[in-house]
Amino acid sequence: MPRASDISRSLDRLGLTRDRRRIVYAYLAAITLFVVGDIVHPGFARLDSVTAVLTVASFVGLVAVGQTFVVLVGGIDLSVPWVLNGAAILLVTTSLGRDSLSPYALLVTLGMGAAAGAVNGFAIAFLDVPAVVMTLAMDGIVEGLTLGLSGGMTCRACASYAPPVVQDAVHGSVFGVPAALILWFVVIVVVSFILSFTTFGRKAYAIGNNPLASYLAGVNVRLVTAFLYVLSGLFAALAGVLLVGFGGQASLGMGSPYLFQSIAAVVIGGVYMLGGRGHYLGVAAGAVTLVALVSVLLAMNMPDYGRNIIYGIVILLLLLLYGREEREE
């Protein structure tokens, strides 16, 4: 029986390094889930069903972009739920459902996300506040501001709809492919490019691997780290915009599932929690795997509690799977 380390070494020689293998596993996991889902609930792997899953996964995927960026440097963003929620509410109340106001509304909304990220980044990179603490506090800050300024969603503007242009952008389709998926595809390409082929991406990986060595090699560790949090806030806000475009109206609590899901997608995608290793390509697959899992469970009419339990157990199994490879090497 060949040892896992022998198998790993052979795969290494084929160019499939451990990090690349993780990405492949993530895609395999997603495909497996569709197959299993189809067995359990025939029709699950039909095109329209797969498309629906992918569309929902795109929202998780967007939030996971930011999470990927900050986890790569060993951080985490716990402010995602309310930055997302706040952005959604900000969009509807600023645009009042009107297309004419939408450019301004989008600017303000995405700006809010970037600003929240900037405060996070500044405190974490320049004031040495632990990421867990700062982003947690920011989540509360944005929650308080959102609830306070909107009167708990009782303000007159709060019941507005998202501007039609945004709604159409999310619901529309190009050559039969949903616009949301096309947007996600563009994001995947852009983010992957940034990570693999730009000096910014190189610096991010360097910082995640060894911040001191990067600093001593002349990399501006603090600035790059802070900017990664800005990006995280930006993408969380973007996800909020698309979500409210998808659903039409904003509601309280719409952001909370996305924290766990974005982190889980990052982990399944093979990104190393302590930073320095991983790629968004894997995270995208992780998001799909996650949403597919939930959908399968829903399709099986599993009650709420069962979904939670299976969710957690599947994550643990995946962790143990990755973990074993790490340990034997």
Partner 1 sequence: MSIEATVARPPTRIAYFLGQNAGLVLALSMLAIAIIVYCAVYWFAQAALPGNFEITSTVNNTMPLVLAGMGQAFVVMSRGLDLSVGGVIDLSNALAAVELHGDVARMVGWSALVLLIGAALGLVNGLLVGIGRLQPILVTLATLSVYQGLAIRVLPQPGGSIPPAYTSALVNPNQPYALGFVLLVGLVWWAFRRSRTGVSIIALGNDEMAARANGVDTVRARVTAFALSGFMSAAAGLFLAATATAGDATTGNGYTLTSIVAVVLGGMNLFGGRGSGIGVIAGAFVTTMIVNILFFSNIDPLYQSFYEGVFLVAVVVLSALIGGLLRRR
Partner 2 sequence: MRPARDGISEPSRPAIEAIRLSKAFGGVRALDGASFSARRGEVHALVGENGAGKSTLIKLLGGRLRPDSGEVRVLGQAVELSGPSSAHKFGVWTVFQELTLLPWMTVAENLLILREPRGPLGFIDRRRMVEEARAILADMGVNGIDPRALIDDLSLAKRQTVEIARAIARKPDALLLDEPTSSLGESEVDWLFGLIHQLRAQAKCVIFTSHRWNEVAKIADRITIFRNGRDIGTFSEIDESHAVSLMTGQRLDARYPNRPPLEEARPMLEARGISGPGVIDVSLTLHAHEILGVGGLAGHGHRELFFSLFGARPTTGGEILIGGRRARMKSPRDAVRFGVALVPEDRKTEGLLLPMPVGVNLTLAVLRRISAIGVLRNGRERRLAGEMVDALNIRPPDLRHPVGTLSGGNQQKVLLARWLLADSRIVLLYDVTRGVDIATKHEIYDLTMRLAGEGRAVLIYSSDAEELAHLCHRVLVMREGRIAAELEAPGVTAEDIVSAAVREPSVVD
List contacts with partner 1 (CB under 8 A).
76, 78, 123, 127-130, 132-134, 136-141, 143-145, 147-148, 151-152, 260, 263-264, 267, 273-274, 304-313, 315-316, 319-320, 323, 326-327
Nearer to partner 1, 117 or 163 (CB): 117
Least spacing, CB of residue 193 vs partner 1, in Å: 28
Please, what is the end-to-end C-alpha distance for the chain in angstroms?
16
**Which residue, 216 or 319, is less far from partner 2 as judged by CB?**
216
CB 66 within 8 A of CB 236: yes
175 binding partner (options partner 2, partner 1, none; Cβ < 5 to 8 Å by kind): none
Which listed residue (91, 206, 268, 297) binds partner 2 by CB under 8 A? 206
185 near partner 2, judged by CB under 8 A? no
DSSP 228-273: HHHHHHHHHHHHHHHHHHHHSS--TTTTTHHHHHHHHHHHHTT--T
Number of chain residues interacting with partner 2 (CB under 8 A): 21
Which among 125-133, 172-180, 215-223, 234-242 is the span making contact with partner 2, rule CB under 8 A?
Answer: 215-223
Q: Of the two residues 106 and 203, which places its CB atom closer to partner 2 in the complex?
A: 203
Q: How far is the CB of 179 from partner 1 (least distance, A)?
A: 32
| Per CB under 8 A, 195 contacts partner 2 | no
Per CB under 8 A, does 197 bind partner 2? yes
Tokens 């991983």 appear where? 278
Contact 183, 59 (CB under 8 A): no
Partner residues linked to 173 by β-bridges: 178
In whole angstroms, the minimum distance from the beta carbon of 149 to partner 1 comes to 9
Torsion of CA 274, 276, 282, 288, to 10 degrees: 40
- Residue bearing tokens 């069903």: 49
Q: Which string of x and - marks every residue 292-321 that binds partner 2 (by CB under 8 A)?
A: ------------------------------
| Rounded Cα–Cα distance for residues 238 and 9 (Å) | 41
Q: Which residues contact 20 (CB under 8 A, 6 or more apart)?
A: none
Q: 15 burial class (0-12, 13-18, 19+ CB within 10 angstroms)?
A: exposed
